[in-house]
């Protein structure tokens, strides 16, 4: 078999076999390092994706809002009755519910942007729902179901009923339904502050995973909300989803510049959470860097010792006509093989560890703690990274071996 291998491969494999204990220990070290990188990377990636999924299942990537009422200066007399002059007094205006100006044209303009995948108008405001002697203040969200349910997957959160929303239907939260004592098919009287009222039928009860949200959130058809809130044909917000969720702040700033409409990205509204996600990514990168660095130093130290131990053999090979380039390649091949073999072992251990995590890290109800995707690209990247690290770590010892003087090396 060796007859068909290049000379450098034959010598490199023989050197590794002769230093068997050193080879086993360094491969074991690389294996552990690669397994840690794979396991931690997959775990932190899954955790981050789970956090982001939980945030974005309850809100759009970008939300467009009408401009706020501007403060207006009021004149105030100075100098008492003498009326020596006036100084402006700025009074904060009352923020009233209003529609986004020319929202249909704005929605078309936003939808035409290449980064945007979905535009969903909504009419949102406060209302009071009454059933018998019980009443509750609610947040009324009027939506177009086929659009909004792609932003917030309400149908998957239903615990009872259906997501149907006609002009006389309403979806309510689990706690609100319990407080009012209603079930599917029951009637509620909804009244808004501007005098609008309507009798609505409960068609679905949902659980958003948050008690406070379940007590106040309700969904109705867009036209129903427009009528109740006094926004005929208008909307109070426009939800926008993007292809790249991390481009939300950049796109929001661009929308504000081009349209003058206030655009809030999920990154800005969840600034602390996003900072935590970025810190998590930085920590993951740091872990991988230092583990890779320790692997590189381990390979380099073993090969430096190998150069010292094999100096006589290297001298003999050089005296027999082996070139410096061939000696260099011998030790580079050793470094690459050590990295590759360790990466293969680390990938297998990492795969087993991830499998055990998915099997035993469960919630009390038996569901996974959080989705953990095993991506083939992670293993391929680990194999390449470990092999390249081995080659890089072997370069200095290989260069030293190639520069050995044959006569000095043979004399020892």
pLDDT tens figures, 43-55: 888 887 777 777 7
Rounded Cα distance between 56 and 67, Å, is: 24
Q: What is the pLDDT of residue 139?
A: 92
More confident residue, 10 or 76: 10
Residue 294 has pLDDT above 90, yes or no: no
The three-state secondary structure class of 152 is: coil
122-156: burial string, b at 16+ Cβ within 10 Å, e else: bbbbebebebeeeebebebbbbebebbbebbebee
> Percentage of residues in the chain with pLDDT exceeding 70?
91
151-186: pLDDT as tens digits: 888 998 999 999 999 999 999 999 999 999 999 999
DSSP 135: E
- Domain map of the chain by residue range? 2-55+274-411, 103-260
Lowest mean pLDDT among 227-236, 257-266, 299-308, 389-398: 299-308
Using CA atoms of 89, 92, 94, 97 in order, give the dihedral in degrees to the nearest 10: 130
27: phi then psi, degrees, rounded to nearest 5: -65, -40
Judge residue 364's burial from the number of C-beta atoms within 10 Å of its C-beta, 0-12 exposed, 13-18 middle, 19 or more buried. exposed
Residue 363 has pLDDT above 80, yes or no: no
Residue 121 has pLDDT above 70, yes or no: yes
Judge residue 242's burial from the number of C-beta atoms within 10 Å of its C-beta, 0-12 exposed, 13-18 middle, 19 or more buried. buried
Displacement of CA 204 from its chain's centroid (Å):
31
Residue 1 has pLDDT above 50, yes or no: no
Residue entry with tokens 């519910």: 97
**Predicted TM-score of the model (pTM):** 0.66
């Amino acid at each position: 078999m060796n007859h068909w291998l290049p000379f450098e491969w034959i010598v490199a494999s023989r050197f590794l076999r002769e230093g068997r204990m050193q080879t086993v220990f360094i491969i074991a070290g690389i294996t552990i390092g690669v397994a840690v990188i794979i396991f931690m990377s997959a775990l932190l990636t899954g955790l981050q994706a789970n956090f982001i999924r939980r945030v974005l299942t309850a809100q759009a990537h970008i939300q467009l809002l009408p401009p706020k009422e501007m403060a207006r200066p009021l004149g105030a007399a100075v100098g008492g009755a003498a009326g020596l002059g006036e100084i402006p007094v700025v009074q904060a205006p009352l923020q009233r519910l209003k529609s986004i100006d020319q929202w249909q044209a704005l929605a078309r303009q936003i939808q035409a942007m290449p980064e945007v995948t979905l535009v969903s108008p909504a009419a949102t405001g406060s209302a009071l729902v009454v059933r018998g002697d019980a009443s509750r203040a609610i947040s009324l969200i009027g939506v177009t179901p086929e659009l909004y349910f792609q932003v917030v997957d309400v149908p998957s959160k239903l615990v009872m009923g259906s997501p149907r929303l006609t002009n006389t239907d309403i979806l309510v939260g689990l706690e609100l339904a319990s407080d009012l004592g209603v079930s599917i098919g029951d009637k509620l009287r909804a009244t808004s502050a501007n005098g609008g009222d309507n009798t609505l039928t409960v068609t679905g009860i949902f659980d958003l995973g948050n008690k406070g949200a379940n007590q106040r959130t309700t969904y109705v058809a867009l036209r129903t909300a427009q009528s109740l809130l006094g926004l005929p044909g208008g909307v109070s917000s426009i939800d926008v989803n993007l292809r790249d969720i991390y481009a939300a702040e950049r796109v929001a700033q661009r929308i504000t510049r081009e349209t003058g409409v206030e655009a809030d990205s999920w990154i800005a509204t969840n600034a602390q959470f996003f900072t935590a996600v970025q810190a998590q990514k930085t920590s993951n990168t740091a872990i991988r860097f230092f583990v890779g660095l320790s692997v590189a130093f381990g390979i380099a130290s073993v090969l430096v010792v190998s150069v010292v131990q094999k100096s006589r053999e290297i001298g003999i090979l050089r005296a027999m006509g082996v070139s410096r380039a061939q000696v260099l390649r011998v030790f580079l091949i050793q470094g690459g093989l050590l990295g590759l073999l360790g990466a293969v072992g680390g990938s297998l251990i990492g795969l087993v560890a991830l499998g055990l995590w998915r099997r035993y890290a469960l919630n009390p109800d038996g569901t996974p703690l959080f989705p953990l995707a095993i991506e083939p690209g992670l293993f391929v990247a680990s194999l390449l990274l470990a092999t390249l690290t081995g080659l890089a770590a072997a370069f200095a010892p290989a260069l030293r071996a190639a520069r050995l003087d044959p006569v000095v090396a043979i004399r020892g």
